[in-house]
Structure 1
Amino acid sequence: MTNAELNELKKRYVANGAASPATQFADRAENALIWDADGNRIIDFAGGIGVLNIGHRHPKVVEAVKAQLDRVMHTCQTVMPYEGYVKVAEKLSQITPVRGHAKVMLANSGAEALENAVKIARAATGKSNVICFDGGYHGRTFMTMAMNGKVAPYATDFGPMPGNVFRAPYPVPYHGVSEDEALRGLRMALKTDANPRDTAAIVLEPVLGEGGFYPAPASFLKAVREICDEHGMLMIVDEVQSGFGRTGKMFAIEHSGVEPDLITMAKSMAAGMPISAVVGTDTHMDASGGNSLGGTYTGSPVSCAAVLAVLEVFEEENILAKSQALGEKLGKRFEKWQKAFDCVDNGRHLGAMAAIDLVSDKAKHTPDADLAAALCKRAREKGLVLLSCGLWGNTIRFLMPVTIEDEVLEEGLDIVEASLKELVGQPATA
């Protein structure tokens, strides 16, 4: 079917809240390229929102999935377990930097991992409250919507959110929130809203994802660890978007040296197959009773096969080094754009978790969400998928596969640059 025919079906049968605004439909893909239903070639700088760090359809993952399909597709691991689940648990327990001996539970999505992390924290501590941060994003289920540090569009139309969730400021000096102010706000929340004796956990992203790709300072993460220890609360780190090599480490928290109690992960852990995990200290993970964690499809055999293949790819192809190198390339291009365009500001990257901000006034850091939307639209017209994010909607994030070929990377970055020139005029500086 053509794009036009598929759009007609979408309008007729797909709920507005679930329908993509994009008018092109993916037909096939390979590494950093997608071809749509009309045969148009498109460069992918979105990676399924951070799911494809090793690219579309990596041959090793495809091979592993096909082999698993010939053996077992589903039994529900609580009814009849299988090797893939326990092998994934073993591997994740070995590579995830949590305190002590790690144990693992598998789920289906990032939001489901966060939901279960809260359940585990409550069971382990006997407390109920959860503290999250401004700008954080944790999912679209009711508990995770309550945990998100941004209302629209995730919670706008859905009525009251679950209680016992409290908020603290996230340190983003660029937007006027220093590390000291963020820590003061966190300590104040413990005084005014979330009594430590009732608070199970502090949940945070080491690098804000949907909130704008702002990394937390290592000293801030260490201070949060100390506050959790002081009050008998668990530190839960959400690595759903920042994990599996995006930042040049397997997990972003490794840049700080901090060991949390629980880490959640999903997205690139299976290169496109649906799976997520909570990895945590064994005493915490074992706090709830038998059959209290799980679900019908959690840790499906096919997705587990994909995870194991992804981990092999990381070792064989030195993905972490590639992520660091990609981040350096992006950083150099960002520096060029910041000098050339008055609208481009605050280029940043931790490994290949990279972003720029678009502004109407550099001196005041005034967000320009309209320009960000226009840039993404113009880039799509030129054959490049590009995503914005951030509390103010003015951040352009770069989530191309770490395995992207150099020539495809440069072609995509040239499209961004050409689109900026068309939207704001020629560069201010040669």
Structure 2
Amino acid sequence: MTSTETARAIAAADAHSAHNYHPLPVVVASAEGAWMTDVEGRRYLDLLAGYSALNFGHGNRRLLRAAAAQLERVTLTSRAFHHDRFADFCTQLAELCGMELVLPMNTGAEAVETALKTARKWGYQVKGVPDGRAKIIVADNNFHGRTTTIVSFSTDEEARAGFGPYTPGFEIVPYGDPAALEAAVDENTVAVLLEPIQGEAGVLVPPPGYLAGVRELTRARDVLFIADEIQSGLGRTGRTFACEHEGVVPDMYVLGKALGGGVVPVSAVVSSREVLGVFAPGEHGSTFGGNPLACAVALEVIAILRTGELQARATELGEHLHGELAPLVGGGAVDAVRGRGLWAGVDINPSRGTGREVAERMMARGVLVKDTHGATIRIAPPLTISKEDLDWGLDQLRGALEA
């Protein structure tokens, strides 16, 4: 039951906003660290972290100070001019990724679109694929965004249906199946686009050796390996990039979410000079991409990641998280648990309700999570969460499952 003030706020939002989301009935007014407070003054533990955009917690002081200092100087020049934060941002992000060039954008979907254009351009200019024949291979259950091109190769009918005609040039193969991937590669294949861990699908981790096999295959067949690390990257899995768990370096990283620290939208495509060097001025761009405010915040994000402290913390707390979740499987409440680092997908047994119903029961207990694909809830707290808070949140999950 929502209170009067909460109900009024939700009703006002529903009256004038398109219903493209189905949020939980909570109206957040403030947040700090791993906690959010609603308009009634109730506190909630955040176990979603903005789908990994808030890896460093709400109101991170280092990020807010960086943003505040830049707000006093200059926030936007457009890419018509240089600004004094741009070179440092590109240099330091390229170094973090072990790459050469950076193409900054704003949202994750923009970065994915940029990666697709880059791969096609590279295919025509460098690989020599006939014009208009470039093919990009993707995996089923993927989630790379919701633009018209991206939903064209989605297998999620909720995101795809009703938005045709669809963009050609993509082939979908089963995720984690190296034989199917190898069979799909032909002379016109320019790239394989994969999430190292599929987040929206329910935190699906591929079989051991899969990413290394993709790297070997793409290198042998002169195909780009594009890793969409928008959710999995920047510390979430216990490494800076999820690909590192298999010692893999792709040809291209697609980054977003945590790159802006939950303060501003920042995304980027990072690759080699051979790949990103295919663009000429005017062929691709963004008015806000790489703006001074975004660069200032992202530079502080990079500085935080360089210490390795949060990656180590995600590893340690992640082991604890999965150790606590594993006993839930097989008792009739949870069918499966997957994940890596501070990231887990929990499949709810239908006898305990839908994922949405469990999320609502957890909300009533002061914990915020979100369901996906009906029966799964995702757990992805800020990497700064304390062990005590994490344990309390897991206690509420157990209580919600018992209810």
TM-score range, shorter chain: over 0.9
For the 8 Å contact 2:259–2:301, the answer to whether it is kept is yes
AA matched with 1:267: K
AA matched with 1:25: V
Match of 2:370 among 369, 381, 387: 387
Are 1:399 and 2:380 matched, yes or no?
yes
- The residue that corresponds to 1:353 in the other structure is 343
- The residue that corresponds to 1:6 in the other structure is 9
For the 8 Å contact 2:231–2:256, the answer to whether it is kept is yes
The 1-side partners of 2:248 and 2:155 are apart by 23
1:228 to partner: Cα distance: 1.6
- The residue that corresponds to 1:288 in the other structure is 279
The 2-side partners of 1:369 and 1:82 are apart by 55
Are 1:310 and 2:292 matched, yes or no?
no
The 2-side partners of 1:198 and 1:142 are apart by 23
1:266 to partner: Cα distance: 0.5
Are 1:22 and 2:27 matched, yes or no?
no
Match of 1:206 among 188, 196, 216: 196
The 2-side partners of 1:319 and 1:221 are apart by 24
Structure 1: stretches of 5+ with no match in the other structure: 172-181, 191-195, 361-367, 423-430
AA matched with 1:184: A
Give SS of 2:381's match.
Answer: coil
Deviations 1:286-312 (A, max 9, x none): 012123232111122112111111222
Q: How does 1:117-128 map to 2 (within 5 A)?
A: 117-126=115-124, 127=129, 128=134
Match of 2:75 among 73, 80, 84: 73
Q: Superposition RMSD on alpha carbons, in Å?
A: 1.9
The list of structure 1 runs, each at least 4 consecutive aligned residues, that deviate by more than 3 angstroms after superposition, is none
Are 1:239 and 2:242 matched, yes or no?
no
Q: How does 1:182-261 map to 2 (within 5 A)?
A: 182-190=177-185, 196-261=186-251
Question: CA 1:369–1:133 in structure 2 vs 1: closer, same or farther (change >3 Å)?
Answer: farther
Are 1:408 and 2:403 matched, yes or no?
no
1:281 to partner: Cα distance: 1.2
1:418 to partner: Cα distance: 0.5
- The residue that corresponds to 1:298 in the other structure is 289
Question: CA 1:70–1:369 in structure 2 vs 1: closer, same or farther (change >3 Å)?
Answer: farther
The 2-side partners of 1:111 and 1:201 are apart by 17
The 1-side partners of 2:209 and 2:135 are apart by 24
The 2-side partners of 1:5 and 1:277 are apart by 38
Question: CA 1:22–1:355 in structure 2 vs 1: closer, same or farther (change >3 Å)?
Answer: closer
- The residue that corresponds to 1:93 in the other structure is 94
- The residue that corresponds to 1:175 in the other structure is none
Give SS of 1:83's match.
Answer: coil
Question: CA 1:68–1:402 in structure 2 vs 1: closer, same or farther (change >3 Å)?
Answer: same
The 1-side partners of 2:219 and 2:306 are apart by 34
The 2-side partners of 1:24 and 1:353 are apart by 23
Deviations 1:25-82 (A, max 9, x none): 2111001111111211111111111111110010000000000000001111x21121
Match of 1:160 among 165, 171, 183: 165
Question: CA 1:323–1:332 in structure 2 vs 1: closer, same or farther (change >3 Å)?
Answer: same
1:6 to partner: Cα distance: 1.7
1:14 to partner: Cα distance: 0.6
AA matched with 1:110: G
- The residue that corresponds to 1:141 in the other structure is 147
Are 1:108 and 2:89 matched, yes or no?
no
1:226 to partner: Cα distance: 2.4
1:233 to partner: Cα distance: 1.4
For the 8 Å contact 1:139–1:148, the answer to whether it is kept is no
Question: CA 1:350–1:406 in structure 2 vs 1: closer, same or farther (change >3 Å)?
Answer: same
For the 8 Å contact 1:132–1:149, the answer to whether it is kept is no
- The residue that corresponds to 1:178 in the other structure is none
Q: How does 1:409-424 map to 2 (within 5 A)?
A: 409-422=390-403
The 2-side partners of 1:232 and 1:85 are apart by 32
Deviations 1:246-285 (A, max 9, x none): 0100000011112211110101112112010100111101
The 1-side partners of 2:236 and 2:296 are apart by 21
> How much identity, in percent, do the aligned residues show?
31
1:218 to partner: Cα distance: 4.5
For the 8 Å contact 1:53–1:401, the answer to whether it is kept is yes
Deviations 1:368-398 (A, max 9, x none): 7953221111111222111222xx5322211
AA matched with 2:182: R
1:315 to partner: Cα distance: 4.0
For the 8 Å contact 1:369–1:393, the answer to whether it is kept is no
For the 8 Å contact 1:138–1:147, the answer to whether it is kept is no
Question: CA 1:224–1:93 in structure 2 vs 1: closer, same or farther (change >3 Å)?
Answer: same
Give SS of 1:29's match.
Answer: strand
The 1-side partners of 2:157 and 2:277 are apart by 33
